[in-house]
């Protein structure tokens, strides 16, 4: 088993870290610079920095803030939100980010995935997929614009396509589980992980350490991402790694 990654996520709104439930009801969770530095020291394998209102507001990611966060880190750093062009990729990666994540722009302009992969390498291109289950239980639809718009795209078909277009990684978020602490959507995660050959990051729903193990063992995730559990000190990253190791999961 390849070593699995633990990734705290900094959801950024108005320059602050925030966290909500099902993408709404946001509450303040601290200063992004302090949070990034603390997670770097605490044993996180990577940090995700997502400007959650950039796409909705039709603006670029806060590059200056991302650059400041990058200075706090000695671990890989992914930035997402409002990235709409190869030039946006260039600005984000030049700011100190190791990877750039796209969601809405990838859906609206799929060729951006290929263009960015050709320019910067697939390993630096992350496609975020926000998935919502259909009421009839037949699968999951892809949402964009911060989880506000149902595109009608099938998640499994879209995951396959983004891999073909050159994405190096998928950040898969369950809209149904986001912030609920009821556990990752294992069925969703496993379905996507088994459909593609690139790493899948599970996101949305972590409530305890066993949930992380389930996402890896049952969901076949290559990495597990969480926010509020880490932000509000409900789970310690080093203790989580010890817990996962005890279950036979290789961690970094």
Active site residue 14: no
Regarding predicted confidence, which is higher, 243 or 62? 243
d(CA 183, CA 58): 32
| Options 45, 51, 130, 185, the catalytic residue | 130
Per the CB < 8 A criterion, the answer to whether 188 and 140 are in contact is yes
For residue 153, report the phi and psi dihedrals to the nearest 5 degrees. -70, 145
**Using one digit for the tens of pLDDT, what is the confidence trace for 13-61?**
776 777 554 444 455 657 778 888 888 999 999 999 888 665 444 445 5
Given the residues 11, 45, 98, 178, the one annotated as active site: 11
Q: Which of 60-69, 145-154, 233-242 has the lowest mean pLDDT?
A: 60-69
pTM for the model: 0.91
d(CA 226, CA 46): 11
Q: Where are the domains of the chain?
A: 5-246
SS3 percent helix, strand, coil of the chain, rounded to 5, is 35, 30, 35
127-139 pLDDT tens trace: 999 999 999 999 9
CB atoms within 10 A of CB 137: 6
CB atoms closer than 10 angstroms to residue 116: 30
Distance CA 225, CA 48 (A): 8
Per the CB < 8 A criterion, the answer to whether 230 and 7 are in contact is no
Mean pLDDT score, 62-75: 83
130: annotated active-site residue? yes
Q: Is 249 helix (H, G, I), strand (E, B) or coil?
A: coil
* Higher pLDDT among residues 69 and 234, named by residue: 234
CATH number for domain 5-246, candidates 3.30.365.10, 3.20.20.70, 2.40.50.140, 1.10.1660.10: 3.20.20.70
CA distance 54 to 15: 12
Confidence category of residue 11, pLDDT binned at 50, 70, 90? confident
d(Cα 228, Cα 1) in Å, to the nearest integer? Answer: 28
């Amino acid at each position: 088993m390849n070593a699995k990654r633990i990734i705290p996520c900094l959801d950024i709104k108005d320059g602050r870290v925030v966290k909500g439930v099902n993408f709404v009801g946001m509450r303040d969770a601290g200063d992004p610079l302090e949070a990034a530095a603390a997670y770097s020291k605490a044993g996180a394998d990577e940090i995700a920095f997502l400007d959650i209102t950039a796409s909705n507001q039709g603006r670029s990611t806060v590059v200056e803030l991302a650059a400041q966060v990058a200075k706090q880190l000695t671990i890989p750093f992914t930035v997402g939100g409002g990235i709409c062009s190869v030039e946006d990729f260039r600005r984000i990666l030049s700011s100190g980010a190791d990877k750039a994540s796209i969601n809405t722009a990838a859906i609206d302009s799929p060729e951006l995935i290929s263009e960015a992969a050709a320019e910067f390498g697939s390993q630096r291109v992350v496609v975020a997929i926000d998935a919502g289950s259909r009421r009839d239980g037949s699968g999951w639809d892809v949402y964009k614009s911060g989880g506000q718009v149902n595109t009608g795209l099938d998640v499994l078909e879209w995951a396959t396509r983004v891999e073909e277009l050159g994405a190096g990684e998928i950040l898969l978020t369950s809209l149904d589980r986001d912030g609920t602490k009821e556990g990752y959507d294992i069925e969703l995660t496993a379905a996507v992980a088994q459909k593609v050959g690139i790493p899948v990051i599970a996101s949305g729903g972590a409530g305890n350490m066993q949930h992380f193990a389930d996402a890896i063992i049952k969901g076949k995730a290559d990495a597990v991402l969480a926010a509020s559990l880490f932000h509000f000190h409900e789970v310690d990253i080093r203790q989580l790694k010890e817990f996962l190791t005890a279950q036979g999961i290789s961690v970094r």
